Structure 1
């Protein structure tokens, strides 16, 4: 932990030194204190683009969380079904593998044409980015379950649902949680693209708008907020994973 903090402190110190010595124009790289000042201004009632930092943050978090919950609710059962049934996997796997490598930005025009410029298209774009990692992680988790454990449970008289609930799901849970963590990271990276769709609030919208005005300090402030929130959510998911699967955490 302390090594990580020291690394971040070194990066900030190098950033400050470069700007203090005038090696890079403030237009391209403003000083850390200038970025911090601008961040405080945006967080104040003055805000940026008719919204405060908290309103931009709430808009982005709402989109991310709705997309994440939808992806988990649909992706985990789909992945489990694919892991348990070769027929289901044969039907769904090609569809997922076809759309998964395509950058979410490529779907942007289709989202606008099909669903308009409202919240649906933004959330759906993020959902598509999160769904595949979660689904494929669930598939991998189910297929990695030791068959000897399944056979032992059946030999003891467990029903199919009991085997699924008490053997397969606990064994697959570490992979599923890892997939959720990966999906969440992809979702944050898709946020900026999603907020290209006629957004009026959001961290991605704030960064894009600031870039159009060459407000580099606002751009860096927005990117920093996205990074901090995303990292905080990642740490929370790691803590949940350690709590729910302590045996897996001990192996890492």
Structure 2
């Protein structure tokens, strides 16, 4: 009995489901040297961020162009841009935008530097010494949830209305998250690493510096990023006290005269500066702690 033509070989059925374009867009990229498997590619993340920013600007333009909200509530991007050019060249409240920006940056980053040299050592000592933790933990946990506007009048009574008061208020807002993150980072260091260092003949100071501090560095850097965010948040409150210049003072003066375009300009300026600083902190983090997320 003649047999028919041989049957075609059966096609292998792929066990991998077909991905949609939306799934492919947000799927994790391939692992690269020095990068954990499944971490999204930096280029793809940047592209998504750019598209998101453009989309928000476009949405802002459409809402104002269709007049869904009155200009008093939401000025258009073009209006804010024109006001920015005017404030840069002619000024607002007796100072140009550059003067306002530089004054605020001096206050915020001055307070940030003071917190950097005080909060991190105290946080590390709180993590390694129970006596130091018992001293600083109650006041930190007590004032940390208090909003700066609550103790701002007290700072004015104690220190007056000069530049010191503004820096102290911003410093207090930055100090707590930086110190607590440093303490949490120290407490997260593996006890096996500490014992291994001691077994190899390391002194207590060497263990604290080479094992504890370096192991806590990811949390310390995170505390710095959180702290600078609190600093910019507190800036507007700090500049309520007899400030002649500063982005917070500019926003406050504009709100008194319903200058929504200037308010938006101040908000955008603060957001851009804070975002650029955060990007720099991310670069510093990748340089100092390349092992983060790998173990």
Please classify the TM superposition score into its range, dividing by the shorter chain length. over 0.9
Q: Which ranges of structure 1 fall in alignment gaps of 5 or more residues?
A: none
Task: Give the CA deviation at 1:186.
Answer: 0.7
Task: Give yes or no for contact 1:241–1:249 (8 Å, CA) kept in 2.
Answer: no
Decide which of 235, 252, 263 is 1:191's aligned counterpart.
Answer: 235
TM-score for the superposition, normalised by structure 1: 0.97
Matches of 1:249 and 1:122 in 2, distance apart?
Answer: 38
| Structure 2 residue 279 is matched with structure 1 residue 235 | yes
Task: Give yes or no for contact 1:242–1:249 (8 Å, CA) kept in 2.
Answer: no
Task: Give yes or no for contact 1:83–1:143 (8 Å, CA) kept in 2.
Answer: yes
Residue of structure 2 in register with 1:158 after alignment = 202
Decide which of 28, 31, 45 is 2:73's aligned counterpart.
Answer: 28
Q: Size of the alignment, in residue pairs?
A: 250
- 1:54-203 to 2 correspondences below 5 Å: 54-203=98-247
Matches of 1:156 and 1:95 in 2, distance apart?
Answer: 38
Matches of 2:155 and 2:139 in 1, distance apart?
Answer: 18
Task: Give the CA deviation at 1:72.
Answer: 1.0
Matches of 1:28 and 1:186 in 2, distance apart?
Answer: 26
Matches of 2:69 and 2:211 in 1, distance apart?
Answer: 58
Query: Compared with structure 1, are the counterparts of its residues 250 and 51 closer, same or farther at alpha carbon in structure 2 (3 Å cutoff)?
Result: farther
Residue of structure 1 in register with 2:3 after alignment = none
Task: Give the CA deviation at 1:25.
Answer: 1.3
Task: Give yes or no for contact 1:16–1:31 (8 Å, CA) kept in 2.
Answer: yes
Higher relative contact order (CA 8 A, sep 6+): 1
Structural RMSD (CA): 1.0
List, as ranges, runs of 4+ consecutive aligned residues in structure 1 with deviation greater than 4 Å.
Answer: none
Decide which of 261, 264, 278 is 1:220's aligned counterpart.
Answer: 264
TM-score for the superposition, normalised by structure 2: 0.83
Residue of structure 2 in register with 1:9 after alignment = 54
Matches of 2:219 and 2:204 in 1, distance apart?
Answer: 21
Q: Which has the larger radius of gyration?
A: 2
Matches of 2:199 and 2:168 in 1, distance apart?
Answer: 44
Matches of 1:23 and 1:177 in 2, distance apart?
Answer: 42
Q: Describe the SS at the equivalent of 2:258.
A: coil
Residue of structure 2 in register with 1:42 after alignment = 87
Greater per-residue helix proportion: 1
